[in-house]
């Protein structure tokens, strides 16, 4: 007797795939690992996807919050793509640095709005929280695709850190921030604090007791006051 797909199981399989790719990376993830995480038999996965490549394509779409990501015929078979190019295109399409770039380019004599720093912090927090799974997926796959690691860590994230450092340094030099001995270190602290609370705490067993708390109400005011 032919097996039929179970309603509601498709999202569960893709979520299990996404979590497994984040935990194990692309290369070391097996369909059996995904099936175990979803609580189903490995053969059931193939009712919905043709293999690991197809599952990864859907996990990537879900991680980037694409509308109707699972509105596909099953079993889904992904068209072969260069994953690094695909991930990079999706990441750049969601570049959160536009306002920060404009602020850094602003002429020195122009006084920024007093709430500008708070707005940047909230925009960055919102972006990182919204795309936490996508960013975690990229980090997990960086070892599998060194080109992706180079683009993400040395280009995209380095660009963000450089912009943030320039912004902090300029405001400190103009007396709008407290004196900052090293703007590069300050920028790194801001990014790493936000990254841990929005992304990395899920993989830290010591953070379980913090689950469900509104971190932004504490973290953003603390980061804002740190520069006053």
Supply the CATH classification number for the domain 1-81: 1.10.10.60
Delimit the domains of the chain by residue range: 1-81, 83-226
* 59-72 residue pLDDT tens: 999 999 888 889 99
pLDDT greater at residue 135 or residue 92: 135
**pLDDT class of 98 with cuts at 50, 70, 90:** confident
Backbone CA torsion sign across 174, 176, 179, 180? negative
Between CA 147 and CA 87 the distance in angstroms is 11
pLDDT digits (tens, 9 = 90+) for 9-54: 999 999 999 999 999 999 999 999 999 999 999 999 999 999 999 9
pLDDT value of position 84 = 83
Band the pLDDT of 184: cuts 50, 70, 90. very high
For 152-164, what is each residue's pLDDT tens digit? 888 888 999 999 9
- Please name every residue paired with 49 in a beta bridge, in sequence order, or none if there are none: 76
Average pLDDT over residues 89-94: 81
CA distances (Å), 145 to each of 54, 79, 142, 172, in order? 17, 19, 5, 39
What three-state secondary structure class fits 72? coil
Span 145-158, average pLDDT: 87
Cα-Cα-Cα-Cα dihedral of 136, 195, 98, 56, to 10°?
Answer: 10
């Amino acid at each position: 007797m032919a097996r039929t797909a179970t309603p509601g199981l498709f999202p569960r399989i893709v979520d299990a795939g996404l979590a497994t790719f984040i935990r194990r990376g692309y290369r070391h993830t097996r369909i059996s690992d995904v099936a175990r995480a979803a609580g189903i038999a490995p053969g059931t996965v193939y009712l919905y996807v043709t293999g690991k490549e197809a599952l990864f394509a859907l996990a990537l779409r879900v991680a980037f919050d694409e509308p109707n990501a699972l509105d596909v015929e099953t079993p889904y078979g992904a068209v072969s793509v260069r994953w690094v190019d695909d991930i990079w295109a999706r990441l750049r399409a969601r570049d959160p640095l536009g306002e920060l770039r404009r602020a850094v380019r602003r002429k020195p004599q122009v006084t920024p709005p007093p709430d500008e720093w708070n707005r940047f912090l909230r925009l960055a927090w919102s972006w990182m929280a919204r795309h936490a799974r996508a960013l975690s997926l990229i980090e997990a796959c960086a070892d599998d695709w060194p080109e992706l690691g180079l683009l993400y860590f040395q280009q995209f994230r380095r660009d963000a850190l450089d912009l943030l450092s320039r912004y902090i340094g300029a405001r400190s030099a103009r007396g709008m921030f407290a004196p900052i001995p090293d703007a590069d270190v300050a920028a790194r602290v801001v990014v790493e604090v936000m990254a841990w609370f929005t992304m990395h705490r899920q993989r830290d067993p010591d953070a379980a007791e913090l689950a469900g708390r509104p971190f932004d109400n504490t973290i953003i005011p603390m980061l804002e006051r740190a520069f006053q």
